[in-house]
């Protein structure tokens, strides 16, 4: 089963998103602690470091982000590795900042905006993760080398 590390500063919203995704019974939730930034980890009853997870979610509160913090996203959210597949999950009222994520979006980084935290579309998030994963990993979670 593919593991997904969930990074971000807002622990309550991370837990909410993980609970919603976990309700589909595709992943088991395991909470882990990190000395740098907290993260939650979906996995299959084992708990290797989050930085080894094949997929990542970075949860961002648009009400707390600024143009400057988005420009420094890679530095501010270490150990999230932008060289590997990342799903940016943004929520909040400051929709004007969504355009700022354009500099990060490419084949391995996609964006999902949540309009209402009470109505999270778990299927849409998992679909985006599946798409990211299928581009970079085979069915056994081995990296796919595109030559």
CA angle in degrees (0–180, nearest 5) for 135-139-144:
40
Asked if residue 77 lies in contact with residue 55, where contact means CB atoms within 8 angstroms, the answer is no
pLDDT at residue 71 greater than cutoff 60: yes
Q: What is the CATH number of the domain that holds 56?
A: 3.40.50
How far apart are the C-alpha atoms of 147 and 141, rounded to whole Å? 18
Q: What is the mean pLDDT of the chain?
A: 77
Residue 97's Cβ-side half-sphere holds a number of Cα atoms within 13 Å equal to 21
pLDDT band, residue 111 (cuts 50/70/90): very high
- Is residue 108 within 8 A of residue 136, CB to CB? The reply is yes
In a domain, 144, yes or no: no
Total number of domains in the chain:
1
In this structure, is residue 141 part of a structural domain?
no
Q: What is the pLDDT of residue 91?
A: 94
Band the pLDDT of 109: cuts 50, 70, 90: very high
The verdict on residue 146 lying in a domain is no
Question: Is this structure's pTM higher than 0.85?
Answer: no
State both tokens at 36. 């740098």
Q: Which domain, by its residues, includes 9?
A: 4-136
Read off the pLDDT of residues 34-64 as tens digits, 9 standing for 90 and up: 444 455 555 555 555 555 667 888 999 999 9
Instruction: Let me know if residue 145 belongs to a domain.
Output: no
Within-domain flag for 147: no
In a domain, 68, yes or no: yes
Indicate the SS3 state at residue 8: strand
Percentage of residues in the chain having pLDDT higher than 70? 71
């Amino acid at each position: 089963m593919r593991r997904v590390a969930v990074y971000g500063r807002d622990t309550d919203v991370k837990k909410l998103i993980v609970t919603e995704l976990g309700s589909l019974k595709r992943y088991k939730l395991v909470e882990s602690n990190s000395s740098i930034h907290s993260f939650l980890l979906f996995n299959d009853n084992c708990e290797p470091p989050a930085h080894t997870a094949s997929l990542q979610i970075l949860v961002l509160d648009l009400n707390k982000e600024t143009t400057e913090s988005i420009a420094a996203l890679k530095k501010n959210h270490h150990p999230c590795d932008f060289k590997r597949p990342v799903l940016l999950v943004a929520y909040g009222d400051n929709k004007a900042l969504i355009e700022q994520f354009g500099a990060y979006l490419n084949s391995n980084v996609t964006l999902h905006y949540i309009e209402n935290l009470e109505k999270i579309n778990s299927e849409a998030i998992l679909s985006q993760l599946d798409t990211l994963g299928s581009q970079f990993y085979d069915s056994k979670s081995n990296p796919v080398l595109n030559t």
